[in-house]
Each structure stands twice: as structure tokens, then as C-alpha cells.
Structure 1
């Protein structure tokens, strides 16, 4: 066994040496070889809402335009993206039985759309539910499509819903979204904290997620909720789409103390490329004012019909086209990776773009341009091993630990 392991290591070292020092390669060729040799995964996109649009074909290549989609299967292939987490996102609404049922139905509809898309294009993509699935699907030349749930609101206060979603393929749950729910406080609730962290029900949710093997996602939750989670979780956690607060002072980002705590937990922060998390927005711009107006109206989405909700999404896309924003660059985003690595090391950072939920950079606008991140990392002297860790190795390590804990807990 040791001899076999040594042979594998030597083969990998030889490959890394070739990738690093082949003098006849252009920069683009070198980037492509390094990128394509890695198992690359984006841990958060909101593409399922596009899947609900009957005119959107995820099996076709779409040229990027402001307000349009950022992800389809051909663009994932073009960008060398092997795996992705499609988020079943539900907005936070007043916590009534009617609204919880509506959120549950919406989450189920989004999950159904993911399975339907993969079933329609079995030669291009397949739903994955485990670490090994991802690697196997990648070997087949297909895209591995994982399912995450953004916002635990559809669970309501019914603990059995967690296992039902696990059986439906959900492999992480973002505990809350922009407002407090029955699980925990949000980082951005305008009325402030309700539980000063996790609720009593949230503690039960955490235990059940650990037991089942569902990754605990701390993006969006308040600082006090974050520390409660790290204190109680038996497994490493993820921040599926967050950045460093020291670089961009946004409550959605993690401060240095939180990053240090995350590293101690063994978790991983997946760098987000949504502009407001990368660089502070210009609050005097017309775009910012229009965005605030739409967000305020969207807060009441739970009281809207499907037609009214679809109209809001259409307005959002039109606003993006009418008021294009000067986006940050890949270099701006990688500044966050630099800060995180300098503070806690290379083993605790990855990438979760938030494409189709507002994510996108001037020079990484959609899934076809993912190699630009690899290029920037290479320019900053990150090693091939470092780049492989950032693009998937760190996240898959955490995923494996969550799976292993669940397996042992079930014995």
C-alpha cells in the first residue's frame, strides 16, 4: 500500500513538474492544463430559477449579456468547471404555516427542475450526491450537479423535513437568508437579532444535519449564529459563498476572528464573486438606488402570486441591463483569497461564485470564464497544489469528513 501510494505521489510530482516547467507552453496553455487537471467545483449558483423559465435551455451555449444567465452545461465545460451546487433558494417570508408551505413547494419545484435538466441532457450532466459521485461523473466527461438549499425556511419547525430533503439529494443547507428564521439569526435582518444566535430548534437542526451528512452552510447567518454553529457542530462547516470582511466590510463576509475560528473547525470559506461582497458599492449611483428599491419590493415576495414574482425577476434582469454596474475584477476577488491564505493558510478557502444570484466580475462574468481565476492565482505564484486545493480539494476534504461522520454515527 505504501509503495502504491509512493508511486502515485511520484506520478503526480512528475505531472506537476511538467505543467510548471514546460518551456514551450503559452500562459494560456499552462493555465488550461493546470485548471483542467484539477477537480473544480463552484459551491453556489442560483441557476435553478432559470430552469423554471420554459424558454431557457441549459443544454445550449448562451452568450453572456447583463441580466442574462451565467451558467449552462456547455459554458461549464468551456470554463473547465467539473462540479457545481445548484441552490434551491427560497426567500424569507413571515413565518406562517401558509408561507412555510409555499416555500417548501418552491424548494421542491426547484429541486425537480434540477433533476429534469439532467434527465434531459444525460450526456452532459448528472446529479451527484456524494464525493465519489463527483469524481466519477468528471471521469465520464460530464458535469456533476449537486443540490444545496439556500435558506432553511422551508423546513419550518418540522425536523423530519431535513431527512426528506436529504433523500431528495440536498447536500448542504444555508441555515438562513437575509432575515431571521426559526433556525437562527441572519447577518442582515433589519430588526436585529431574535435569538442571539441559534434557536433551540436550530440546535436540533444542526444535530440532524450532522447525523445525516448534510454540510452546514454558515453564509448569511449572523456572527453570533456562526459562533454557536462552530461550538456545536460535530463536523467542519462551509461558508458556501462569502468573502473576507477585512477586505470588504460587509456583514455577509467573515471577519478575521471568524476566519481563524473556521480554520480551527477545519471548515472552508468559498470565495464569492458578487460585487458588493468583493468591493463596497457606490451608494450614490442610480444603479444602487434602483437595486435597493427592487430588493425592498422583493422582501414581500411571499405575498405575491407566481406571476408577480416572475415579474419581479424580469424587472431585476432588466435593471441589470439598463443600469450596468462597473464590476470588480478577478484581481479584486483574489485579494480576498490572498488575505484568507495569509491569515489561516491554504487549506481553508475555495470558490462559490453566486452566479445567477448576482455574482460575476468584469473579467469573469459567467461560467465560461472561470479559468481567469486560475490565471490570476498563477500570476501571484500560487503553486499547482495550492490551485487544486482552492478549486475543489479543500471543499471535497470537508465534504468527505461530513460523509464519514454520518457513516460512523449510523453504525
Structure 2
């Protein structure tokens, strides 16, 4: 039944994308070059394992009444991922990241963060159990391929922001036992593990903290991928030195293409290749292109900040309210979205600098990701279409869409086995 629905979904997409072309049974030469290219791309997209390493969907899953089995309209609800749209886009596997925003770093704050994190993880597990006919919980690299053969989507779990670890190293193993297979060390503000690339107050630890280094070692021991997205440059270099296994950037882009502190320099990309790791390209407009002029937004933001105290004098709560207010203004005065062509430009650059074995896809759906042409999970095939237009082969596309991340995942697990076999 699932395979029938899978096939029907792709046939429907093909009809939409190739509207006006001759019936499929007619001779190939009757189709335009563009139509032939799209058909070739969709066939490749269907054959390869398509894996998205970052979606903040667990935040949706804990909302009362939100059902992953229902198709949601992104323009009405803001939701970018559900199981029907994964099928429509032929997205075979995804990492659902349990995201906890940075808050007060004390016992009470750490406890609240842990409770929320576990709630999201449990919601993912419960959803896979309720929808076992279409999805399955994945824990190991090969699970994605096994579930694909069954006609099901593979659901992996990650954590975005190490804040829920608190100051208790034992929490790392707790999360691993719950199914977590990568942890993003830090988010938009510094935490007890590491420095953020975007903390208004700047660096605190000079990269990864002493406790953070213990967390990295424990992740290596257990087989959890170390994710450096959102970390500042020093966090990247520290992780490269500290980790005994290759690292990942679950949703980051190229700084040479778009100048943003969240993106990675060419030097970082080269080191990522030497490390054997992978950079997962994200579909967030501000990281894909320089924002065009937006006078209305600039004026409103300036007026907002004029009535606020300096950032360095704000409490964490006040800084959180400031970011919330700025997000509201950006929603009120939106800039044009980046395009799938912008995304492919970053892929081209990363391939040129780091090589085809060190780039992947991490869309950041439900966390700000969503661009023109890849607005939600139902449209991810447009990435493949653009790559085919640019001359990428099926083997290269397979690496970009899933093969590279799976390779790193396997090495991380192998390193964990070696550490556990030979504890120092």
C-alpha cells in the first residue's frame, strides 16, 4: 500500500512539473529538452536515498492537536514538514531536532530545558509508533535504507543546542538511549558547552568549554555525531581537534558565497574535508544570499532598538524578548526569499573547495528554512532538478542527498565501538 502511494505521489508531481508535455508513452524525442531533464531528475530523486539532517518539527509535534499524519498548508499554519509531504517530495529520511532555546543557566533553567527536550523526543517516538505503517524510528545508518525498502520514511532524532545537557554529563547517555544521534553543541547564545556565532555579547569560553570537551568525548564514546552548526569559528576548530570521529555541520552554508557568521569559511571547508566530515547545506534565505534592501524593516528595527537598553545591559529574558520582537518585524516586512539556484550556488562552492564527499542537505524546515522552490518538504525534489541542470551525476547526487552523511554516521559508530573496546 505504501509503495503504491509512493508511486502515485511521484507520478502526480511529474504531471505538475511537466504540464503540457506529451503522455509518458509517447516517443522520447517528442519531449522538450527541459521536460526530459525534469523526468531524468525525478527518476534519480526517486532512486537515491534522500536524507534531510535538520528539521525543528518536534516543536510542532508537542502542540495540542498537531497531527503529523495530516497534510498541513504551510501558508496557513507555518508547518513545513509532515508525513504526507515527505511522501510527496520523496524525502526518505529526516533528522527531527529537539530544539530548546537558550535560557537561564542555573539548576532550574537546566531542569526545564531537560524536561522540554525529553517531551519533544518522546513526541517523536510516539508519532513513529502511531504511524508505523508509513514511518519508522531509525537509530543506525543502515536503518534508512531498510525502511526505504519497506516503503517507509526513516525518522532520526537529534538535539539542537546542548543546553538540555545542563552540567550533568550523564544526560548525554540518557539522550543517546532515547535515540539521539547528533547534538548541536550550541545555538544562538553561548551555553555551558560552547560559544555561539551570534551571541550579542561575544565569546565566553574561547570556543568549547572544559565541560564541553567532556561532552564531546562522551559523544565520541557513545556514537553521537558532533554538530558544530551555530558555533563560532573557535568552536569549529576546537571540535576538529577534540573529536576522535569526523564532525558534521547539520545546517550551515559557505561564507565565501554569503558573508554570515553562521556560514563556514573556505579554510573550515577544507579542514572539514581533511576531517572526513560533512557540511549539510541549509535552506534559510539569510544564509544563502545577502538580503536585498528593505527600508521599511530597517526603519522599524532602528526604532525598536532606540527604545531599548544596550544589549550588554539586558538580562537573558530581555534579550529573548528583543529577538522575538525583531522576528515579528521580519515577518511583518519580509524580504524576498532566496531561491533554489542560490542553494545550488553554495553546493557548487562547497564541492569546489571541500570535494563532493563533504556536502549534504539540512533544510532547517520548521526552524526558519524554506525558500522559493523548496518551501517545504513536498518540494525538495527541486534541489535534485537544479543539480541535474548543473551537470551533477546520479552518483554525485546520491552522495549529496544522503551518502555522505551516512558515511560519517558509520565512522562515528565505528569510533565509538573502538573506544568502548579499548577504554583508556
TM-score (normalizing by structure 1): 0.87
Whether 1:270 aligns to 2:287 is no
Deviation per CA, 1:242-300: give whole Å up to 9, x if none.
Answer: 00000111100000111111111000000011011111224644456778979x99963
> In structure 2, how many angstroms separate the alpha carbons of the residues matched to 1:395 and 1:267?
8
> In structure 1, how many angstroms separate the alpha carbons of the residues matched to 2:119 and 2:362?
23
Of 48-57 and 163-172, deviating more is 48-57
Alpha-carbon shift at residue 67 of structure 1 (Å): 5.7
Alpha-carbon shift at residue 185 of structure 1 (Å): 1.0
Q: In structure 2, which of residues 391, 401, 405 is the aligned counterpart of residue 381 of structure 1?
A: 391
> In structure 1, how many angstroms separate the alpha carbons of the residues matched to 2:107 and 2:171?
14
* Number of residues of Structure 1 aligned to a counterpart in Structure 2: 381
Give the secondary structure class of the aligned counterpart of 1:399.
helix
Q: RMSD across aligned C-alpha pairs, in angstroms?
A: 2.6
> In structure 2, how many angstroms separate the alpha carbons of the residues matched to 1:288 and 1:349?
34
Of 374-383 and 187-196, deviating more is 187-196
Residue 110 (structure 2) aligns with: 100
Deviation per CA, 1:204-241: give whole Å up to 9, x if none.
Answer: 11110000000000101111111011011110000000
Task: Indicate conservation of the 8 Å contact 1:210/1:233, yes or no.
Answer: yes
Whether 1:248 aligns to 2:265 is no
Task: Indicate conservation of the 8 Å contact 2:292/2:335, yes or no.
Answer: no
> In structure 2, how many angstroms separate the alpha carbons of the residues matched to 1:116 and 1:389?
31
Alpha-carbon shift at residue 82 of structure 1 (Å): 0.5
Give the secondary structure class of the aligned counterpart of 1:269.
strand
Task: Indicate conservation of the 8 Å contact 1:186/1:222, yes or no.
Answer: yes
Q: In structure 2, which of residues 83, 97, 102 is the aligned counterpart of residue 73 of structure 1?
A: 83
Whether 1:364 aligns to 2:381 is no
Deviation per CA, 1:143-182: give whole Å up to 9, x if none.
Answer: 1010000000111111100000000000000000111111
Deviation per CA, 1:93-123: give whole Å up to 9, x if none.
Answer: 1211111111101101111111121122111
Whether 1:146 aligns to 2:172 is no
Give the secondary structure class of the aligned counterpart of 1:188.
coil
Give the secondary structure class of the aligned counterpart of 1:401.
helix
TM-score (normalizing by structure 2): 0.84
> In structure 2, how many angstroms separate the alpha carbons of the residues matched to 1:321 and 1:57?
25
> In structure 1, how many angstroms separate the alpha carbons of the residues matched to 2:57 and 2:185?
19
Residue 407 (structure 2) aligns with: 397
Give the secondary structure class of the aligned counterpart of 2:142.
helix
> In structure 1, how many angstroms separate the alpha carbons of the residues matched to 2:348 and 2:201?
34
Residue 71 (structure 2) aligns with: 61
Q: How does 1:298-337 map to 2 (within 5 A)?
A: 300=317, 322-337=332-347
Task: Indicate conservation of the 8 Å contact 1:274/1:359, yes or no.
Answer: yes
Give the secondary structure class of the aligned counterpart of 1:137.
helix
Q: How does 1:9-408 map to 2 (within 5 A)?
A: 26-65=36-75, 68-282=78-292, 284-287=294-297, 300=317, 322-408=332-418
Alpha-carbon shift at residue 321 of structure 1 (Å): 6.5
> In structure 2, how many angstroms separate the alpha carbons of the residues matched to 1:271 and 1:164?
29
Task: Indicate conservation of the 8 Å contact 1:67/1:319, yes or no.
Answer: no
> In structure 2, how many angstroms separate the alpha carbons of the residues matched to 1:243 and 1:290?
28
> In structure 1, how many angstroms separate the alpha carbons of the residues matched to 2:98 and 2:379?
24
> In structure 1, how many angstroms separate the alpha carbons of the residues matched to 2:97 and 2:127?
14
> In structure 2, how many angstroms separate the alpha carbons of the residues matched to 1:339 and 1:178?
25
Task: Indicate conservation of the 8 Å contact 1:91/1:301, yes or no.
Answer: no
> In structure 1, how many angstroms separate the alpha carbons of the residues matched to 2:83 and 2:319?
31
Give the secondary structure class of the aligned counterpart of 1:148.
strand
Residue 12 (structure 2) aligns with: none
Task: Indicate conservation of the 8 Å contact 2:104/2:316, yes or no.
Answer: no
> In structure 1, how many angstroms separate the alpha carbons of the residues matched to 2:319 and 2:95?
24
Q: 1:289 to 1:201 in 2, by over 3 A?
A: farther
Q: 1:334 to 1:66 in 2, by over 3 A?
A: farther
Task: Indicate conservation of the 8 Å contact 2:134/2:152, yes or no.
Answer: yes
Give the secondary structure class of the aligned counterpart of 1:171.
strand
Task: Indicate conservation of the 8 Å contact 1:91/1:302, yes or no.
Answer: no
Give the secondary structure class of the aligned counterpart of 2:251.
strand
Q: 1:397 to 1:285 in 2, by over 3 A?
A: farther
Task: Indicate conservation of the 8 Å contact 1:282/1:288, yes or no.
Answer: no
